[in-house]
Amino acid sequence: MDQRAIVYQDVRFSAEKSENWLLIDDAAKGEVDCIDGRTTHPVFGVPGGSAGVLLRIIGAYIASLPNQLQQAAVKQTVAQFPELCDAFRLEAPLCSHTDNHAEAKHELTGCGYYKKLRDESRDFGYLGGEVLVPALVNALIPSDVCEVLQGKHQELGMLEITTTGKWIPKIQPMTNGTQHFVYHPQVEQALYRRLEPGMLVVLQRLNGTAVQLVGYREKLRKLTDRHVAVTLAKIANGKSVNQVVCNDQREFVVKETSAV
């Protein structure tokens, strides 16, 4: 069976179940997990889960500040990270993951996105990743969703799930023994919209500086595009990206494959 046929079969496994289909805005209200291919249940996936969304919102806010204020904003954000997490939880669950390898070695996290963002933040265009990522992980509480994934990465590539309508399906990353990274960009955008008012109020109060909304949104768009591209280049280099386009009749097509 060729790769496109495998993708079709694995997507159908999730898409044929009516309970996996949600309105995009409703999807953003619930659990939004990481793109990791080792997950064995249906997900809406974005890099780092919804906790990764929080990191990108913070990064876009700091990048929108005048240059001379940015380092101070990183320090202030680290110091007040629990308050930012509390504000986030008012709008959506805070979801992340680690893995059995990191737990065995007592490492901070097993999420590849978090580790790369922490250790190679310059590649991501992200100021302060070396302190902001640990601050996030340390601010998580037991009621947050933090799954411990098992095994090694063996993803064939990434599935980019979009819809031409309002309904979109959760997709199970590991299906029939095959792994795929799973990314839902429209759910990510809906979560940004949902979080924007409350998170910007808190960030601006903590740092004492407001930012222009249009400029912030453009920074967030560019930052997100860069993070997706850099993450794939680092953890899925040379693997395929399959575009899966769905509609409100709960049909889907697998479009042409491109290489990361």
pLDDT tens, the chain, 260 aa long = 788 899 999 999 999 999 999 999 999 999 999 999 999 999 999 999 999 999 999 999 999 999 999 999 999 999 999 999 999 999 999 999 999 999 999 999 999 999 999 999 999 999 999 999 999 999 999 999 999 999 999 999 999 999 999 999 999 999 989 999 999 999 999 999 999 999 999 999 999 999 999 999 999 999 999 999 999 999 888 889 999 999 999 999 998 676 65
Distance between CA atoms of 122 and 172, rounded to whole angstroms? Answer: 32
Return the closest-CA partner of residue 58 out of 27, 15, 88, 36. Answer: 88
Task: Please write the tens of the pLDDT for every residue from 103-158.
Answer: 999 999 999 999 999 999 999 999 999 999 999 999 999 999 999 999 999 999 99
The dihedral region occupied by 125, where left means phi > 0, alpha psi between -120 and 50, and beta the remainder, is left
Return the closest-CA partner of residue 184 out of 228, 217, 146, 222. Answer: 228
What tokens does 166 get? 């309002």
Cα 138 to Cα 41, 58, 134, 219: the distances in Å are: 26, 16, 6, 26
Q: Which domain holds residue 23?
A: 3-259
At position 42, the amino acid (one-letter code) is P
Residue with tokens 């990270």: 81
Domain count, the chain: 1
Q: pLDDT value at position 259?
A: 64
Q: pLDDT value at position 21?
A: 98
Distance between CA atoms of 210 and 84, rounded to whole angstroms? Answer: 16
Other C-beta atoms lying within 10 Å of the C-beta of residue 68: 7
Distance between CA atoms of 171 and 27, rounded to whole angstroms? Answer: 12
H or E stretch including 96?
strand 95-99
Distance between CA atoms of 62 and 64, rounded to whole angstroms? Answer: 5
Distance between CA atoms of 184 and 246, rounded to whole angstroms? Answer: 11
Query: What pTM was computed for the model?
Result: 0.96
Return the closest-CA partner of residue 207 out of 128, 96, 137. Answer: 128
First to last CA, the chain: 22
